[in-house]
Every structure is written in structure tokens, then in C-alpha cells.
Structure 1
């Protein structure tokens, strides 16, 4: 059986994701689609709108065959580390191809750029550091380096292009026997906050519409499959809320206000004296967005600060980040009957242990951070619901469709 891998967050699953999934199947002719999906917190440093289990249901209902979790140590990271973690998990499951969405849509551009970059990596990195010292933000410094080395044909200011480049670079750098493919993103851009197409919208615009009121579900109905709508409705009826940064702000404020600067410096992402800006700003910030507005500068972008705040909230330290060099297990979140057949087909040849019961991971340092992330994610609930949600993290068996 031939498997193709996709790297997703499904926050939430929408019609654009469905298009990507159908095109992936069509272009690769794969027998099995494996999605590696971020868990409780996402790449840009945000809590997932609904739980990993709810998003797994969305994925399986749409036609994904296997859903595995990208651990926190790789999920809440900049593009390179995020991509390496995801690609290595798909390699461990023997995916023959990886298919990602991008604004560019031409895989040759990604391959050429990645090959050129790897040849000039040291010079590129040196130029980026020089640009950072001159006060440019990392995205600006990277873009300037990109132009300098003649790679401007691939616009890395576009978020899906940036991630796609990181996937291809990871495949080439690790000399993996994986064929990369890309599908052009249609109708909406990643950061679009409004609807401009009758059936395709960005996840950003969908979340913005739902923000503060799960009752607006009907407003996004044209842009999501029926199964997604049903899962979102069931989740809000069961738990009474969707997850967004503002509801976590009181917990973040407590963490920052009660920590000494030296404690904050131990946290991943706390660099270059940002702990002092955070301590100063938190005293007068009454919302998460107000805090970020007070702290952000050219160097400290909104996304970088969101990730740092997520690490503070979950107490993810630099030491833990440095120790997590590569995934150590494959956590299965869900599968279809076809996915089960594929796992039976490859189970003797998997490159990492396949885990369905997390009790086996109690001594794994990467999973220990996952437990902290789960505790932070459940913190917004009152008891006994909080304990119930935490129990789901440890006791839920992989969902089978």
C-alpha cells in the first residue's frame, strides 16, 4: 500500500482543506492518507479552537485515513523545527510522498530554492544574524537574505510557501526517500479575515467570526463540511466554549506576574531581554491582545510573542526544547478501516514505536511536555469538567471510523 502524508492543524477543518485532501488523493494515487496534526496548541502559538479529538473526527469524516499527533515540542515552533518534526513522523510511517498546500503551487520552485539554500546555508545564516543586529525582524532579515542569494522567485513572506520550503528542505537535508508535491491554495489567503468567496474561506476568517460566540456557527456553515459543523456544535454544547487566547489570558498573567525574570529566562523563546518587557507590560495589560501590542517591536513579531507566551503558559523550558531533537514516538489519534489495514501492513517496519496508550510514555521527556500542555489547555474549565477533559488526554483510545 502506498501512503501520502499531509501536515495539518484543521483549526477548524474547512472546504479549502477538503479541496487539498481530494487533490492530494488525485495527484498521488495513494492508497492511504496520513495526517500529522498539531495537538492542543498550534504552530503560531495559539490554542486549538477545539480539542485534538474533535479535530481528528473532522479529519476522518472528510476522508483522512490515519491521524497522528505532532508533539508540542515540534508543533509550537518556527517553520524549520515544525517541519522537521512532522516530516520525520511521516517518514517513520513510510509515507512515499508528502503533499502540501502553497501559494506558489510549483514544486520545482521549492526544490530549486531548497537545494540552493542548502549549498549557501552558512553564508545565509551569517547575513540574517547581521540583519537582526541592525534591528530587522527575523522575517524581514530572512527576506533580505533571500533576495541577496537570488531566491526571490519563491515568496517566503507567504506563510504556506514558508512551511512548504521547510518541508522540502527537511526532506533533502535528511536525504529521505520521500517525493514532495504541492497544490496551489485557492480562493483565500492564509491571513484573510473576511469572506470573499461563496464556499472557500481561510481558517483565520472562520475563527474570527466565531470569536467570543460559538452561536455564530451558522455564519460559517457555507465554508465548512457538515461534519465539521456537527463536531463544533457538539463541542460547544458539551464544553460551553471554544478555545482562544483571551480566555487563557488570566492564567498567562498569573504566570508572568509571579515569575522572577530569571525564571522567565529559562523558558523557550524568552530571548534578548524580552522578559523585562513582558514583566513591565503585564501589570497594565487587561487582555492578551493588549499585552502583545505593548510588547511587540520590529524584532518581536506578534507570532514570535504568541509562541513565547504559549511556552510560558505551558512551562516549556529551553532545556526541554534542546533535548527534543527528533520525535521519539508516533501517537495514533484516529483511523479508518483503511488506515487500520495500512498500519497492519507496515507495523513490523515502523521506525518509531506506535503508541495508542500514553501510559507507556510516562518516562518520555517529549510526552511529559505534552502532559503540561494538556493541563494548560484544560485550565479554562471549572471542576469537575477540567478533570474530565484531562482524563480524555490520558484515557481516550484512538478514534475509529
Structure 2
């Protein structure tokens, strides 16, 4: 049995994700689709709308055969570290292919770009440093340097978010010298950061979340853009746990952390650099909401995404030392869910895997998985008791979910 890996967040699962699964299976000619999914906190520095367990159900019903958790140490990272960790885990799961969505849709463009930047690495890095000196953030400086060096149509446009991640997947596979087939499919219609629902049946996850989290909007407005099972699972989650997760729910806890923690202690937190801790502490006194806080601390040098990730690490009290120690290599494969076919794949491959599969937290302990446990505990504070206690307990009691996909994924 051949397996294709996909790297996902499903925040929430929508029609574009169904298409991705279908295309990954088709392009790779694989029998098994393995979804490596971020846990409670995501790469853009946000809490997931619903728990990993609810999103696992969506993924299985939508066509994935196996769902594994991308550890916190990789899931809440800048693109290159995120990709290095994710690609290494899919390789450990013996995926013969990796398929990602991109604005480009042409794998040759990614490969040409990688070759060029490897051949001109020194020149590229010097250009980045030149632009950083003007006061812009590193991602913006890298984008500006890239545009200056790579103007040909044969190169991929690295101003687009999915192209950026896709390029890092390609680079990670190259760095790790993996024998894995690299595939990309063009994203359909909606762009990654679109704020408004589109006129087609595919909308961005961002626009769907905006509707779901806006008090004056009705849940039913998103119905055309998500499978029926996603809609029902979102309703079920809100009924079961009282709310969906978003940053404003965590603001009181973040504010508390900022007001009672010293600047010296904050400097030890991952992603806290260059005195931003002082700006954060001052803004925490003034801010009346998380969004207000973010507008107060935002500068040209720091992207919104990087600042949100720093806030997550403050919430979880994750230090620079912890992150350095736990991003060296993946040490486990946390199984969240499977179909009968996915179970059969694991049964055939289990003895060949080089790192252990974890299906029960009580059966495995190390510092990397402890970060996941801590993140899940903090995530539960996005809802109130008694729902919070139920979510806390689910992390330990929930076995891997077993479901079969829904025919036609509707």
C-alpha cells in the first residue's frame, strides 16, 4: 500500500480540503492519504476554532485515512521549521509522496527556485540583510530580496502564502535527502487570506471563521462552503463545549501573564527578541482586548503572525531552551484517527517504523510530547467550566477515532 502525505490545519475543514485530499490521492496514485494536522495552536499563531479531535472527525469523513498530530514544537513555528518537522514526520510514516496546495500549481517552478537559491545562497542572504537594515521584518526582507534576484516566470512567486510553505516543504525534503515524490495542486478560487466569503462553493478558512465568530452572523451562512458533516460537527462542538475558540477568549490569561511576569523572565520565552517584551508589558496595561493589544505592539519589523506566535508561547510559558531541545528531531507519531483502510496500512507498516506510534498518552512520556500536553491544557482555557474540564479530560481519555469516509464527501 502506497501512502501520500498532506500537511494540514483544517480550521475548519471545507470543500477546498476535500478537493486537496482527492487530488493528492489521484496525483500520487496512492491508496492511503495521511493527514499530518496541527494540534490546538496553529502556525499563524492562533488557537484552532475547535479541538483536534473534532477536526480529526472532519478529516476522516472527508477522505483522509490516517490523521496524526503535528507536535506543538513544529506546529507553532515559522515556515522553515514548521516544514522541516512536518516533512520529517511524513517520511517517518513511510509516505512515498507529499502533495501540497499552492497558488502556482507547477512543481517545476518550485524545483527551479530551489536550485537557483541554493546556487546563489550567499548573494540572497546579503540582499536580505540589506533590506532588514531598512527596518522591515525578515519575511518582508526575504520577499524583497527574492523579487530582486528572481524575476523570471520559471520561478515561483514567493509573495503568496501557500507558495511560501510549499517551497519550504521542497527545501526540507532536499535538506533531509528524502526519496519522496513532490506534488502540488493549484488552489481553487479562494485565496488563503480572503476575509469575505467567495461567490463559489470554495471559500477561505479565514472568511469562514470570520462568519462563525461574528456574533451578529448566523452559522447557516457558511453552509454552502463546508461539507454537511463539518457544519454539524461545528454545531455539535459549540453545544458540547459552549463556545468556539478564538484569541479574545484567551486575552485575560495572556494579560495576566504579561502583567505579573518580569521583563527578564519574558526574554527567555521563545520568539521574544529585541526588547519586544517591554512593548508588550506596556501595551498590556492599556489594551482592552487582544485585537487592541496587537495593534499597540505591531511594528514594521514584526509581522502580525510572528507576534501572535510569541503570545502563544507566553501563554504556554515555552522557553527558547525548550524549543531548541524539541525541534532537533521528531520522537513520536501521535495517532488521532483512522479509517479501516488506514488501520490496515499501520498494521502492515508498524514494525518498519523507526519512531513509536502513540495512541495513549499514558504509554509515552518525553519533553516533546509534554509540550503538546501543556498546549492542550492551556487551549482548554478558551472555554469555561464545566466544559473546560471535559476538554481537559478528553486529551487523556480519547482513543484514536475510528470512522469511515462519507461517500461523495457531502
Q: Distance in 2 between matches of 1:339 and 1:129?
A: 46
Distance between the aligned counterparts of 1:121 and 1:232, measured in 2?
A: 46
Larger displacement relative to structure 2 (68-77 or 204-213): 204-213
SS at structure 2 position matched to 1:23: helix
- Aligned residues of 1:113 and 1:151 also touching (Cα < 8 A): no
Q: Residues 151 and 171 (structure 1 numbering): CA distance in 2 closer, same or farther, change over 3 Å?
A: farther
Q: Cα gap change, 1:374/1:151 in structure 2, threshold over 3 Å: closer, same or farther? A: farther
TM-score scaled to structure 1, two decimals? 0.97
Q: Where in structure 1 are there 5+ consecutive unaligned residues?
A: none
Displacement of 1:382: 3.1
Match of 2:298 among 296, 299, 316: 296
Residue 317 of structure 1 corresponds to which residue in structure 2?
319
Q: CA deviation at 1:25?
A: 1.5
| Whole-angstrom distance in 2 between the partners of 1:246 and 1:383 | 17
Number of the residue aligned with 2:268: 266
Distance (Å, rounded) in 1 between the aligned partners of 2:386 and 2:43: 30
| More off after superposition, 210-219 vs 103-112 | 210-219
Q: Specify the alignment match of 2:50 in structure 1.
A: 50
Task: Give the aligned partner of residue 211 of structure 2.
Answer: 209
Asked if 1:330 is matched to 2:330, the reply is: no
**2:370 maps to 1:368:** yes
Change (3 A) 1:53 1:317: same
- The match for 1:75 is 75
Asked whether the equivalents of residues 188 and 202 of structure 1 are also in contact (C-alpha less than 8 Å), the reply is: yes
Contact 2:211 2:217 in 1 (8 A): no
Q: Distance in 2 between matches of 1:110 and 1:71?
A: 26
Worse-matched range after superposition: 347-356 or 378-387: 378-387
Q: CA deviation at 1:200?
A: 0.8
Using the alignment, how far apart are the partners of 2:147 and 2:200 within structure 1?
37
Paired residues in the alignment total: 400
Contact 1:139–1:157 (8 Å) recurs in 2: no
In the TM superposition, what is the alpha-carbon distance from 1:300 to its structure 2 partner?
A: 1.1
What's the offset of the Cα at 1:383? Answer: 3.1
Counterpart in 1 of 2:105? 105
Give the RMSD, CA atoms, in angstroms: 1.4
Give me the whole-angstrom Cα distance separating, in 2, the residues matched to 1:326 and 1:150. Answer: 32
Q: Mark the runs of 5 or more structure 2 residues left unpaired by the alignment.
A: 404-410
Contact 1:105 1:182 in 2 (8 A): yes
Q: In the TM superposition, what is the alpha-carbon distance from 1:390 to its structure 2 partner?
A: 1.0
Structure 1 stretch displaced more, 87-96 or 214-223: 214-223
**2:233 matched residue in structure 1:** 231
Tell which deviates more after alignment, 387-396 or 328-337: 387-396
Q: Does 1:353 align with 2:356?
A: yes
Q: Give the distance between the partners of 2:207 and 2:258, measured in 1 at CA.
A: 30
Shift of 1:144: 1.9
Counterpart in the other structure of 2:408: none
Kept in 2: contact 1:154–1:161 (CA 8 A)? yes
Task: Report the equivalent of 1:25.
Answer: 25
> Greater CA deviation, 123-132 or 49-58?
123-132
Q: Contact 1:24–1:99 at 8 Å: present in 2 too?
A: yes
3-state SS of paired residue (1:306): helix
